[in-house]
Amino acid sequence: MLIRKLFKFESAHVVRNCTTRRCSRSLHGHSYRVELLFTAKKLDNAGMIMDFGLLKGAVKELIDSWDHAACFWDKDTSEYVQLIQQHSERWVSMPVNPSAEQFSRVFFVLVDRVLSATSFANGEDGVQLDSVIVHETDSGYAQCWRQDAYDVHFGGLIDLRRLSFSNRVREEWSDPMWWDKLIASQGNGQPIFLHSSPPQQIS
């Protein structure tokens, strides 16, 4: 069984080295749609894989970080990067070229990391991210599965330490320090997103 949650944001980028000149040489924007698909080993106490309300915190804030932001590859020229940072208070520096394919990989690794740092409390069991779909236009999208997200042949490993957000983006988070906590917690197995157990109305 799969469940799907849709997120939207508006963002601008240049995709270096691509075939189309307009795409590779001109800053341009898209109305992005991001679909997250989840599976689980069983249904929780409410008969759900996971309550969609649990995605309104860190996951929503993460994806919203790209909204009305200019994103760029951290390997781009220093002149271009400085101009973006000078003229846009909302920007995201990415460790990969910001194509739809790489967006889907980045969001997979990000959401996967948030899930691994989340403590569930309503009988959820084995909730996993199945895949991520990033629609860049109405007619085109990229879909990423786990093997794609962590395969070095798809543009190298996604190093979250190389992903950085402007001060303005961070200031709008509910906790401006939670990204640093997420990075610091990587691999130590300690949850940083805790959900309290809901009261059982019917048992």
Q: What is the DSSP string of 36-88?
A: EEEE-SB--TTSSSS-GGGGGTHHHHHHHTTTTEEEEETTS-HHHHHHHHHH-
Q: Where are the domains of the chain?
A: 3-188
Enumerate the β-bridge partners of residue 197.
Answer: none
CATH of domain 3-188: 3.30.479.10
Residues identified as active-site: 23, 68, 136
Phi and psi (nearest 5°) for 21? Answer: -60, -45
Which of 51, 47, 64 minimizes the C-alpha distance to 5?
A: 51
Which pTM does this prediction carry?
A: 0.94
| Residue 58 burial (C-beta neighbours within 10 Å; 0-12, 13-18, 19+) | buried
Written as tens digits, the pLDDT of the chain (203 aa) is 999 999 999 999 999 999 999 999 999 999 999 999 999 999 999 999 999 999 999 999 999 999 999 999 999 999 999 999 999 999 999 999 999 999 999 999 999 999 999 999 999 999 999 999 999 999 999 999 999 999 999 988 999 999 999 999 999 999 999 899 899 887 776 788 877 788 777 87
CA 13 vs. chain centroid, Å, equals 16
Question: 3-state DSSP call for residue 32?
Answer: strand
Q: How many residues does the chain have?
A: 203
